[in-house]
Amino acid sequence: MAYNGLVIRSTGSWYDVRDADGHIFQGRLKGKFKIKGLKVTNPIAVGDRVTFEVEDKAENTAIISDIAPRENYIIRQSVHKTAHGHILAANIDQAILLATLTLPRTSLGFIDRFLVSAESFRISTKVIFNKADILNDEGLAYQQEIMDMYERIGYQCLSTSATEGVGVDEFRQLLDHKVTLLSGHSGVGKSSLVNAIAPDLNLRTNEVSTFANKGVHTTTFAEMFELAPNTYIIDTPGIKELGLIDTSKEEISHYFPEMRERLNQCRFHNCLHINEPGCAIKDAVAEGEIAESRYLSYLSMVEGGDNRR
């Protein structure tokens, strides 16, 4: 008999599959799965909806026979860089990027690269600035400026302090009834914030002193945690940056919403917004309508080489 399940953990050869009653089976694949038009090293990822049959009831093993079409998915690296990507997770409702302006400092460049990746995967993103408690008045004013800047572009922002319990209820509401990819540098407080709303889960928290130790996380597999009914977070330990879906230089500005809406005002349809005459993007930067930091992030992505074909 075939059942439907949700993949909540993957080790590469085994998949933890949760059925409708919350029972978890260790699943294996039957035969080879090929995904059309996508070169990936793993056929199934966390968040995949699958069909399976129970293999051994006592051992809780199962055979996965089918994967439902994906709403979306995220990959670890640019597909054309190595020709093969690694699917981290599928069927994500939203991403939340957790950032801190200090200890550790999340750069605006990092935030922008994350937002561009998420746009390319068609995943809406919210940005949370944690550790508000350690900012002085000047720091708080700067954080507000940054939040206003991202809100104007359309990214909802929230200021929190996991340790002081500030913004924790709002965080819980953002997650409610969604599958959320929770990302951010190690040490920004992801575990602390999740523990604040779901203490039973007891995610391991890192001391700040360990985040410099890049060897701590070696896994490249995502994990999915159920916080409440139909409320999941996906954690991708050790993953520094997401990839981009196959993107050319010309396409990068499409993933900046404030540029996307002005693209048809540039004189040249293939304008790269670097030194072309009649460029609406450069005009908007000069007039302060597009943030300088966003434009600099754009330039580094176009000129950086990483995303070139």
Residue 254 known to bind ligand: no
Considering the rule CB under 5 A, would residue 203 count as an interface residue with Zn ion? no
In whole angstroms, what is the distance from residue 301 CA to residue 295 CA?
A: 10
With CB under 5 to 8 Å by kind, the binding choice for 281 among Zn ion, ligand GDP, none is Zn ion
Considering only CA atoms, which of 183, 181, 300 is closest in space to residue 252?
300
With CB under 5 to 8 Å by kind, the binding choice for 91 among ligand GDP, Zn ion, none is none
Residue 30 known to bind ligand: no
Residues 89-118 that bind ligand GDP (CB under 6 A): none
Structure tokens at 74: 């995220």
* x/- letters, 180..219, toward ligand GDP (CB under 6 A): ----x-xxxxxxx------------xxxx-----------
Considering the rule CB under 5 A, would residue 266 count as an interface residue with Zn ion? yes
Considering only CA atoms, which of 222, 221, 233 is closest in space to residue 197?
233
Shorter beta-carbon distance to Zn ion: residue 118 or 266? 266
Shorter beta-carbon distance to Zn ion: residue 165 or 278? 278
Bridge partners of 7?
17
With CB under 5 to 8 Å by kind, the binding choice for 65 among ligand GDP, Zn ion, none is none
Residue 60 known to bind ligand: no
Residue 133 known to bind ligand: yes
Among 94, 163, 231, 293, binds ligand GDP (CB under 6 A): 163
Asked whether 225 and 16 are in contact (CB, 8 A), the reply is no
Shorter beta-carbon distance to ligand GDP: residue 21 or 138? 138
Shorter beta-carbon distance to ligand GDP: residue 111 or 301? 111
Considering the rule CB under 5 A, would residue 302 count as an interface residue with Zn ion? no
Residues 34-53 that bind Zn ion (CB under 5 A): none
In whole angstroms, what is the distance from residue 91 CA to residue 109 CA?
A: 26
Which residue positions form the known binding site for Zn(2+)? 266, 271, 273, 279
Binding site for Zn ion (CB under 5 A): 266, 271, 273, 279, 281
Binding site for ligand GDP (CB under 6 A): 130-131, 133-134, 161-163, 184, 186-192, 205-208
